[in-house]
Chain A
Amino acid sequence: MKRSLRFYLQLAFTVVVCAFLVVPVVLSIMAGVTENFFVGIKSGLTFRWVVEVWTLYNKTIFLSIGIALATLAVTLLIGIPAAYVLARRQNRYTRWIEELIVLPVAVPGLATALALILLYGQFSGFRISWTFILVGHVLFTLPFMVRSVLAVMSAIDLKTLEDAAASLGASFTQRFFHVILPNCRQGILAGALMVVTLSMGEFNITWMLHTPLTMTLPVGLADSYASMRLEIGSAYTIVFFIMIIPLLVAMQWMSEPAKVKPRFLS
């Protein structure tokens, strides 16, 4: 097929934009496995930076995974019931509630974190525990879970399905577990991936809430960028990439065939 000049100009522009995004990623991967980045690849390839990162920062990785899973559990437990009510009751109050729970995303994380510290910072047991960070992550990710589930619930005729189950004699608990949950699993799964991905990468709130003993992966990254050599920072970044790539691929894969996209990403 013959393409016009305009096509090639736009293609070139697009390639430049993509290069802007992808070149630093490639550089960081290279730097993380190069003996000396300043000298270049000719200094040799090595895994010693990755090993060093593991010994220095492996705790942050486990803590991040732990917090992400805990955040997921909490958002599932409180988010799905909330989404259900928001889907079933569409009135002024539920719209208000929907607006309210999005606020921790609309307002900079710094403000949320400061507020939490000012009110709860005095409870030192809470302040130094990982649950303090968990609270921040739950606030920040809850709207994504709620919206993702709500989107699917609004797309199916939830009320009629529930009426049908009730007409067959199912109690509310039976309806919830047999009919509502299974039919929202697309949204639940999409929301869950979103929550875990966001929690793993959350920095703005976490930086304020963390203590030296509760360092998450992004906090550790900031620490390594500031105080370690470039190769270690890069190697650490590779670790982060490896952890989020499966999540991103899963999200991509989910959104394609079913066309159920979380409203936030699109």
Chain B
Amino acid sequence: MDNNSGNPAKLNTVGIRLNACGKTFPDGTRALEPVQLEINPGETVVLLGPSGCGKTTMLRIIAGLEQPDAGGQVFFGEQDVTPLPIEQRHVGMVFQSYALFPNMSVAENIAYGLKVRGMAEVEKKQRVVEMLSMMHLESFAERRIDQLSGGQRQRVALARALAVRPRVLLLDEPLTALDAKLRESLRAEIDRLLRSLKITAVYVTHDQSEAMALGDRIAVMEKGRIAQIGSPREIYYRPATRFVADFIGSMNRVQGMVDGESLQLPSGLLRVGPRVSNEVLFRPEDVRIVSNGEAQLQAKIVSAFFLGDHTRLILDVGNEQTITAETVDRREFKPGDIVPIAVDSEAILFLE
């Protein structure tokens, strides 16, 4: 079945193309608007969005667990896989709940995809050993699933999905069930894996830092549509819509009167550059605390939270508008104090 034995790093990976793939459920709800998406071979695309945005539905359509509405097509490379059920698509899938088979040991779980393909015993054993060592699971081969920790289970799930040398790897919120520390270390491990295998991967998550860390491109989804797709930098620094701006990181929004190249606020003049609008956006880390001479605004501290590596300030800039600022300044800020602040005009965004 598999023609490229030997080096696990060499996979027959293919690109994915979705053609007008929408999904309407029998009760009439539109889970996914007809969507167009092209994923290059070896690329990792993260589908990011709040629950109910359609990201899981899109993944399940790619997997073959869900049929797109009439007219939708899924291509793996040049092959139209739309009519194929998941078991014939040759994908690897990692589930949020791991979905490891409780009736099988770790090794049996990893071998399962090879077993149903009828792979010869010797070759199968060798592949399992290979996968176990790749995921650092050698000593767990004979364990039962309920004897594993969450992180170990996730690694078994990855090993099981990769053992069949899938054409694409699909990951459905694989780290959501884990605690924060473990999440971070497994994130690094998955990143290393995806880079070294150069496999086409679709990764669903609602966690933006996971998306930023892992995605070659991120598709931010909202209400069944792709709101924006781009590199993590593009998404963060040039959000296309308000939704994207608010969903990725946090964003300050300030309204005022346009005054030349500035925005007039009760606390001062915010320089925004030649393009002006009566509403501008900027990120908290772009707010700089400056000397009085450089100050654009004189903001009043509403509250100050010392968070160890930085301090978060809630600042009143007048007209009942507050902004958030983050600073690594070691000063002790007190509510009621006035701080002089400035925002570089390159950091300022305009959105309709």
Contacts and interface: CB of A to CB of B under 8 A. Distances in A.
Q: Do chains A and B touch in the complex (CB under 8 A)?
A: yes
Interface in B106-127: 112-113, 116-117
A169 B103 contact: no
Chain B interface helix/strand/loop/mixed:
mixed
B87 A169 contact: yes
B87 A161 contact: no
Given A167-B63, A167-B161, A169-B90, A157 B116 contact: no
Interface in A168-216: 168-171, 174, 178-179, 182-183, 185
A179 B103 contact: yes
Q: For this complex, into which size category does the number of interface residues on chain A fall? A: 10 to 19
A163 B164 contact: no
Given A160-B97, A174-B116, A167 B92 contact: yes
Given A167-B86, A169-B90, A161 B101 contact: yes
Given A167-B92, A174-B116, A182 B103 contact: yes
A165 interface: yes
Contacts of B244: none
A163 B95 contact: yes
B99 A163 contact: yes
B116 A163 contact: no
Given A157-B97, A160-B95, A160-B97, A165 B102 contact: no
B93 A169 contact: no
Contacts of B103: 179, 182-183, 185
Nearest to B102: A183
A166 interface: yes
A158 to B, nearest CB: 10
A182 to B, nearest CB: 4
Q: For this complex, into which size category does the number of interface residues on chain B fall? A: 20 to 34
B113 A169 contact: yes
A166 B95 CA distance: 12
A163 B86 contact: yes
Contact of A164 (B85, B93, B164): B93
Contacts of B134: none
B101 A171 contact: no
A166 B102 contact: no
B164 A168 contact: yes
Contacts of B100: 164
A166 B99 CA distance: 11
B91 interface: yes
Interface in B62-88: 63, 65, 85-88
B114 to A, nearest CB: 9
Contacts of A161: 99, 101
B95 A171 contact: no
Contact of B99 (A160, A178, A182, A185): A160
Q: By CB atoms of chain A within 10 A, which of B86, B97, B161 has the most?
A: B86
A156 interface: yes
B160 interface: yes
Contacts of B113: 168-170
B115 to A, nearest CB: 8
Q: By CB atoms of chain A within 10 A, which of B100, B103, B113 has the most?
A: B103
Contacts of B170: 167
Given A156-B102, A164-B101, A168-B160, 5 more contacts: A164-B93, A165-B112, A167-B63, A168-B113, A169-B117
* 10 nearest A-B pairs in the assembled complex, by CB-CB distance: A168-B113, A182-B103, A164-B99, A167-B93, A170-B116, A166-B87, A160-B99, A166-B86, A169-B116, A169-B87
20 contacts: A157-B97, A160-B95, A160-B97, A163-B86, A163-B99, A164-B93, A164-B95, A166-B65, A167-B63, A167-B65, A167-B92, A168-B112, A168-B113, A168-B164, A169-B87, A169-B88, A169-B117, A171-B116, A183-B101, A185-B103
